[in-house]
Structure 1
Amino acid sequence: MARFLLVFLFAVSLRLVFGDSSTTLDLLWPKPSQSKFGTEVYESPAPFYPSGGATQPKGPLTGLDITVKSTDESLNLTTDESYDLKVGGDGASITATTVFGAMRGLETFSQLIYHRPDGGLAINEVKSITDKPRFQYRGIMIDTSRHFLNLHTILTHLDAMVYSKFNILHWHIVDDQSFPYDSYTFPDLAAKGAYDHEHIYTQEDVKTVINYAYERGIRVIPEFDTPGHTQSWGAGQPDLLTPCYANGQPNGKYGPINPILNSTWTFLTSFYQEIDNVFRDNYIHLGGDEVRFGCWEGNPDIQAWMKKMGYTDYAKLEEYYENNLIDLVNKLNKSYVVWQEIFDNGLKIKMDTVIDVWKAGWEKEMDAVTKAGYNVILSSCWYLNHISYGEDWKKFYSCDPQNFN
């Protein structure tokens, strides 16, 4: 079957149709501010005969119609991102149920365009592309506690995510090393827990990231990992962390969040109410990984409380904390994600919990989690910070999240 070339001009008419209404705009592609080419390159495009059977150009292509069937602009786990794309001699068209599906179609359309030897742009005829995501959750996690990323870098990262149609930014915003989130309810958390006053994310910064992501069809799911991974919280919130003991005396070190104090739950209630107000996505990542029991085990107040409650296993104390935190989040009408340790430690958690699998041996873990009836996210295969030599992409592509039973 012969393929035909459609010459793509610099100025293209873009018609957007939402339901029964439509609007026509001038689409400059690529935008002049992002292009090294002048408009004269596209005014009189020369014929080009690519390999693969094309014999003569069929263009120019001067129009792209985009039809969006629904005016619903909500972005969540069930958002329809499917689209149909056609490119022919009578013009190009994208049809989608939602504006986010149209975004994915525009990304595919842009990637079909290529440079001609004479400096012009061209696109091959496309009879039909019908596309939809295999997985509704396609995320990348950034850790801004261990390694602070400035606002420009995060926004550039979001742009890069769009190219491959990722739709989740998992923002691991705080950890042991630093607390860069500038809380308006508890300003001392960042004032005393960040690396310094310059390495923080203001409320305006966070709003910018959330809005910038939404405009690109990306959800921002924040992670505030507790009760472990919280060393940076302690300076700004006295009595939050558990004092560690040695030889019956405090040794000056601190462990996980202290779950037995009423002040802890007063703080967490106010803090997560703020997080609910700031981060508009329905999901929040609660962490729950790598909780060290040593300070709990050595603290006499914790020991006395455990005895009073009839607990002999410190995993029960972890369960107590997690279930109370989940109840707190549920009251905010938030859904939640936790790391796999919550499941591995045998904690009795609610069935709407989403388990994030990150360790080796993920196939057995995924099998166990799904058989237990939980929804699951797989993170194990794609740790980009693990530096290696050679072709990483083969390893990344060979990991199929559904290849576990």
Structure 2
Amino acid sequence: MDETYRVDVDAADSGTGVAFVTADSLWGVLRGLETFTQLMFSNGEGGLYIRQASIADRPRYSHRGVLLDTSRHYFRISTIKDFLDAMAMNKFNVFHWHIVDDQSFPFVSIKYPALAEGGAYSEDMVYTVEDVEDIIEYARVRGIRVIPEFDTPGHTESWGVGLPGFTTTCYGDDGLPDGTFGPVDPSNEDVYTLMTHLLEEIVMRFPEKYIHLGGDEVSFGFNCWLSNPQIQAWMKSLNISTPQEIESVYIARLLSLVEALPTSPEYVIWQEVIDNDIQVKPATIVEVWKGGWEAEMNKVTGQGLRAILSSCWYLDHINNGNDWQTYYNCEPESFGGTDAQNQLVIGGEACMWSEYVDDTNVMPRVWPRASSVAERLWSPKDTEHNGHTGRRMEEHRCRMVGRGYDAEPPNGPGFC
């Protein structure tokens, strides 16, 4: 996606009074038009002025994303579209759609409709085939790619509601099922058949080169895998003994399924896959999200893999005050890597996990805090937070409010 553009505005009293937006691609035109609109300001009488300017611009990183979790709370299509509009206004270009999780499975699968029938909060809180197509197209015409995430083997409790046997039956100390369920059951061959067919459907319905496969936060301490007699026998046949080895076997099998798909999609994974020493192909993108991210970025890029950073930008973590400044000051390449390693950093993502947000408050919770992430990922490396940054953030928030988005005050007392 070439997003390079140029904007030239001549003043009427000293030049032609004409403005040009020039780019070599549609995506560059979109970004240039956004900048053009942001050069306008009110004359106080219901009209607009436009600033004289000559701007040559391009993004620093090719991957500038926002994650939205639509499992823990369901979001209406209209809310997601507002979210995408705000992303385009801030020149983000990747919508990381964390569409399912433990709590609910709102994605309506053509091949496995039981997943949503059993796993969604209700029959109304789902994303139909038409809904998904609508969101993808709405994003596309705004220069935003939609990368879906279907996270396994953890975060899959809702999967097992519609498809019994997909998740692991946990056993108590008495040797009987205790009524709880754990991660994916990797000893069940039907799981791999389902994943093959579901992945085929996902890559057919999402016209995107990448799919996010998850791989994070498997509850090893829960010991559900180790309590299950069928998995114990399966482990013995493979000569493995730890939950970490179980996950490694499952993830390796999952990656082989993806690589065998006719469309040959690439994949993004969370950092735990690398931390557990699972072999991935060179085109893999690793998303780094934990604390101590500098060492992890160094490790990932040191292995020759591309990385995106999200550790600094978890928008669900709320602090009293203008935490956007902390986001702004996070430099993705400040991990001491070589020039070659820095070249493997392709961008980052701001993440909004939805435990405590829904349609009523997601927009002000995200915006304009995510705007600081957008500027960090777009701007040259030597861009620093200075006395002008806060005033520009305030102006940008007011601009978003003027367009009808519920963006919260970034700097304390004031008014638009």
- Out of 368, 375, 387, the residue aligned to residue 318 of structure 2 is 387
Q: Percent identity?
A: 51
- Out of 249, 253, 263, the residue aligned to residue 324 of structure 1 is 253
Q: C-alpha deviations, 1:259-280, integer Å up to 9, x for none?
A: 1222111111111111111111
1:174 matched residue in structure 2: 100
2:32 and 2:304 map into 1 onto residues whose CA distance is 34
Task: Assess if the C-alpha contact under 8 Å between 1:315 and 1:347 holds in 2.
Answer: no
Structure 2 residue identity aligned to 1:338:
I
Q: C-alpha deviations, 1:264-312, integer Å up to 9, x for none?
A: 1111111111111111111111110011231111111111111111223
Offset at residue 394 of structure 1 (A): 0.7
Matched, 1:396 2:327: yes
Matched, 1:299 2:299: no
SS in 1 for 2:86: helix
1:350 and 1:243 map into 2 onto residues whose CA distance is 32
- Out of 210, 228, 252, the residue aligned to residue 283 of structure 1 is 210
1:200-279 correspondence runs (5 A) = 200-247=126-173, 248-279=175-206
The alignment covers a number of residue pairs equal to 326
2:64 and 2:7 map into 1 onto residues whose CA distance is 22
2:9 matched residue in structure 1: 87
Q: C-alpha deviations, 1:380-399, integer Å up to 9, x for none?
A: 11111112211111111011
- Out of 170, 179, 186, the residue aligned to residue 112 of structure 2 is 186
Structure 2 residue identity aligned to 1:312:
S
2:179 and 2:247 map into 1 onto residues whose CA distance is 23
1:191 and 1:345 map into 2 onto residues whose CA distance is 34
Structure 2 residue identity aligned to 1:182:
V
1:121 matched residue in structure 2: 48
Deviates more, 1:224-233 or 1:91-100: 91-100
2:243 matched residue in structure 1: 314
Deviates more, 1:294-303 or 1:212-221: 294-303
Specify the structure having the higher radius of gyration (Cα): 1
SS in 1 for 2:161: coil
SS in 2 for 1:156: helix
1:97 and 1:258 map into 2 onto residues whose CA distance is 50
2:298 matched residue in structure 1: 367
1:18 matched residue in structure 2: none
1:140 matched residue in structure 2: 66
Structure ranking higher on relative contact order (CA contacts 8 Å, 6+ apart) = 2
2:85 matched residue in structure 1: 159
1:369 and 1:178 map into 2 onto residues whose CA distance is 32
Offset at residue 125 of structure 1 (A): 1.6
SS in 1 for 2:72: coil
SS in 2 for 1:377: strand
More strand by share: 1
1:123 and 1:313 map into 2 onto residues whose CA distance is 64
Q: C-alpha deviations, 1:57-104, integer Å up to 9, x for none?
A: xxxxxxxxxxxxxxxxxxxxxx11101111113211122111001100
Offset at residue 330 of structure 1 (A): 1.7
2:273 matched residue in structure 1: 342
2:46 and 2:236 map into 1 onto residues whose CA distance is 77
1:118 and 1:314 map into 2 onto residues whose CA distance is 67
SS in 2 for 1:235: helix
Q: C-alpha deviations, 1:156-215, integer Å up to 9, x for none?
A: 000000111000000000000000111111111111111111111111111110000000
2:44 and 2:77 map into 1 onto residues whose CA distance is 37
Offset at residue 366 of structure 1 (A): 0.8
SS in 2 for 1:192: helix
Offset at residue 345 of structure 1 (A): 1.8
Deviates more, 1:245-254 or 1:335-344: 245-254
1:110 and 1:273 map into 2 onto residues whose CA distance is 41
Aligned CA RMSD, in angstroms, stands at 1.1
Matched, 1:196 2:122: yes
Offset at residue 356 of structure 1 (A): 0.7
1:82 and 1:111 map into 2 onto residues whose CA distance is 17
SS in 2 for 1:138: strand
Task: Assess if the C-alpha contact under 8 Å between 1:80 and 1:98 holds in 2.
Answer: yes
1:365 and 1:169 map into 2 onto residues whose CA distance is 24
Structure 2 residue identity aligned to 1:229:
H
Structure 2: gaps of 5 or more residues: 337-416
2:33 matched residue in structure 1: 106
Offset at residue 349 of structure 1 (A): 2.4
SS in 2 for 1:356: strand
Offset at residue 226 of structure 1 (A): 0.3
1:17 matched residue in structure 2: none
Structure 1: gaps of 5 or more residues: 1-78
Task: Assess if the C-alpha contact under 8 Å between 1:316 and 1:347 holds in 2.
Answer: no
1:161 and 1:238 map into 2 onto residues whose CA distance is 38
Structure 2 residue identity aligned to 1:210:
I
1:177 and 1:110 map into 2 onto residues whose CA distance is 40
1:86 and 1:108 map into 2 onto residues whose CA distance is 11
Structure 2 residue identity aligned to 1:198:
D
More helix by share: 2
2:324 and 2:3 map into 1 onto residues whose CA distance is 25
Q: C-alpha deviations, 1:199-246, integer Å up to 9, x for none?
A: 111111111100000000000001010011000000111211111111
SS in 1 for 2:307: strand
